[in-house]
A and B are shown apart, each in its own frame.
Chain A
């Protein structure tokens, strides 16, 4: 078992530069869609025409519900079509990969609406 893990760990390190992670994390942290709009997120989103669905997961610390609520507030200010749901989940950031019924139902309904509008 130990040698298996050592082998997998070694091959991962060989294939993957750890600095990539640092860079990606920083890029995520520094991404600010409002920076070119006087730090006004509502203004940044005002030109969009999409029907938004914002979903957050209670245990996600990477994209916490608080951040999603900021997006919702800005979309409301910009009078956009939007829905927001907070999914109870304890899988952390990976929760979006888990087939949680409420999450799946809301997501499916939303996609169905979009498909209906396109056809």
Chain B
């Protein structure tokens, strides 16, 4: 029995985060995937074990990297804010994924460009700032939103570039990017969902996009 047994159990999909399980549905078997800000490697482990994906992750936190190495995930310690030029050549991946990371990067627009330089398709997920709970808090209470999905106060949030679905789509248009698929995970629409019961604090409103270079 491999010492990775307990992690494989996680990768069996029973409690894969909602946005991650949607991403997994969008990815073709036997493909090559780069995960920017791969965290503890949960998604890459799932893709490897279920879809035979050749995956690589970029991660900055040494603690997350320890988790990845424990799961036998290919992980490279790097700061996304330095771009992808140091390691990756054009068109070397089928998919470049960035889940719940875009809003915390210094230059999201440049990073999206980099995703489509390195990969044929990009997939991003991010918290939707226009979710009604966020709107209520800003519009009626006049305070910066703090929700399940945006748990930090304005002074300690890592999210320096929050956006809405509309904002993201305007940016795509401007950069000549074609949106291939869009899903919104809305916890009010997924009430009673087994995933929601399992990970209630993760199933707020999250936008998930798959996109490619136009034409």
- Chain A positions within 8 Å of B, measured between CB atoms, are 51, 53, 69, 72-73, 76-77, 79, 81-86, 102, 105-106, 109-110, 112-113, 115-117
Known: A69-B87, A79-B54, A109-B69. A85 touches B74 (CB 8 A): no
* B contact residues, total (Cβ < 8 Å): 23
Nearest A residue (CB) for B70: A109
The answer to whether B76 touches A72, judged by C-beta atoms less than 8 angstroms apart, is yes
Which residues of B lie under 8 Å from residue A105 when comparing CB positions? 66, 69
Nearest B residue (CB) for A56: B77
Contact with A along B57-98 (1 / 0, CB 8 A): 000001001101110111111000000001111001000000
The answer to whether A77 touches B89, judged by C-beta atoms less than 8 angstroms apart, is yes
Residue B56 CB within 8 A of the other chain: yes
Interface pairs (19), CB distance under 8 Å = A72-B76, A73-B87, A76-B87, A76-B92, A79-B54, A82-B74, A83-B76, A84-B75, A85-B62, A85-B77, A102-B62, A102-B66, A105-B66, A106-B66, A109-B66, A109-B69, A109-B70, A110-B69, A112-B3
Rank and list the top 4 A-B pairs by shortest CB-CB distance, nearest first: A116-B2, A109-B69, A109-B70, A116-B3
New A-B contacts (20) at CB < 8 Å, excluding given A83-B68, A106-B66: A69-B87, A76-B56, A81-B74, A82-B76, A83-B74, A84-B75, A85-B75, A86-B77, A102-B66, A105-B69, A106-B65, A106-B69, A109-B66, A109-B70, A110-B69, A112-B70, A113-B2, A113-B72, A116-B3, A117-B2
The answer to whether B69 touches A83, judged by C-beta atoms less than 8 angstroms apart, is yes
Residue B140 CB within 8 A of the other chain: no
Which residues of A lie under 8 Å from residue B62 when comparing CB positions? 85, 102
> In the complex, what distance in Å separates the CA atom of A81 from the CA atom of B54?
9
- CB-CB contacts below 8 Å: B90-120 with A: 92
Which residues of B lie under 8 Å from residue A76 when comparing CB positions? 56, 76, 87-88, 92
> In the complex, what distance in Å separates the CA atom of A73 from the CA atom of B86?
8
